[in-house]
Amino acid sequence: MAIDIDSIRDDYPILKRKVNGQPLVYLDNAATSQKPQVVIDSIIDYYSNYNANIHRGVHTLSQEATRAYEQARKKIQLHFNANHPHEIIFTSGATHGINLVASGFTGRLNQEDEIMVSEMEHHSNIVPWQMLCEKTGATLRVLPMNEDGTLNMEAYEDLLSDRTKLVFVNHVSNALGTINPIGEIIQKAHGVDAAVLIDGAQACSHIKPDLLQLDVDFYVTSAHKMGGPTGVGMLYGKDKWLNELPPYQGGGEMIKEVTFERTTYADLPHKFEAGTPNISGGIAFGVAIDHLNSIGFKNIEEYENELLEYATEKLLEIEDLTIYGPSKNKTSVISFNIEGLHPYDVGTIIDQMGIAVRTGHHCAQPIMDFYKIPGTIRASFSFYNTFEEIDSLVEALRKAIKMLT
């Protein structure tokens, strides 16, 4: 199957709207993806036809809602190829999943231990580990990056030691689009008995990770980057780790028995899912995964690579434009600047022409510090974008340059 771009775009109602009197050109997919009608319909269907709390009710609506929610968990398990459905923990997003794991390791680290993050991380995969080091006395090591936006794997091997307990790396850089060699990272970390958490928030709309093949200990992602709703995501954890780590929050649902003397915790996955969850969001997450699989990740990858190559070629025709992180192995993200122009000014002007891009440090300030820049203009493409939209971006940039110089 090849991408039928017209048919696909028809599935996304927001792509029909205008912004500032111009057709919307949405190129901020790395921040959040747009939602297909089938995902929107699933949320409406839940609240219209079987809205009820789950797991605890014996009445029909509760049973229907429970069934749909747990079917979504099973879909996620199968999609990511996890061993068991209970290894999939519903979260509010990737950030929640990272903090859950960081909290669980608070009692497992001491001043002799080291944990490692890469220089390429989103703030959500840096700050929780800094907080963990403050609580435990462990040392935070930084895996450096290269000028081309790849990780320095020689330095990685030098940093690993028997003191390394945890390694944290994103699957794909949100700021640069670089696809990191996570298989090699995981294998080498396991060689020193370190556990690995991979932040997959930027990867999962482009790549279908095989968690069993990767042998990763923890993997997090967010539904809203995959055509699903905001406020829901998943943490995958190996059965062994999830059983060993303590609960992140206390409350209803995560308990087996409560007395004033002691509380015992529920079995997985409920041990980590305190309170009433985002039920409609979890169900819609499963629907979004079905939608992506109906298009096919091979088709998505091929088409987005074509968009990336075309956009790279066209953007580099603009005088004094610099692309950061020109790795050969990347997803459809381009971070760039135009000499003498501030990214914010450019982004504001092209928004008046209906074009949505991201400007700033993209919650990845260490990357900007590495390149000694305040931020970039980031254009990030999805399988529902077109070559004509790239032409519109380039035309708008040329107009912005004339206006600002």
Q: Are 145 and 170 in contact (CB under 8 A)?
A: no
Nearest Cα to 13, choosing from 44, 58, 48, 51? 44
Distance CA 328, CA 293 (A): 25
Distance CA 153, CA 336 (A): 25
Please give the full DSSP string across 151-220, using - where no structure is assigned.
B-HHHHHHH--TTEEEEEEESB-TTT-BB--HHHHHHHHHTTT-EEEEE-TTTTTT----HHHHT-SEEE
Please give the full DSSP string across 220-275, using - where no structure is assigned.
EEEGGGTTS-TT-EEEEE-HHHHHHSPPSS-SSSSEEEE-SS-EEEPPTTGGG--S
CB-CB neighbours of 186 under 10 Å: 20
One of 19, 131, 321, 363 is an active-site residue; which one? 363
Q: What is the dihedral of CA 75, 77, 83, 89, to 10 degrees?
A: -130
363 assigned to active site: yes
Distance CA 223, CA 94 (A): 9
For residue 235, report the phi and psi dihedrals to the nearest 5 degrees. -110, 125
Residue 192 β-bridge partners: none
- CA 358 to chain CA centroid, Å, is 16
- Residues noted as catalytic: 363
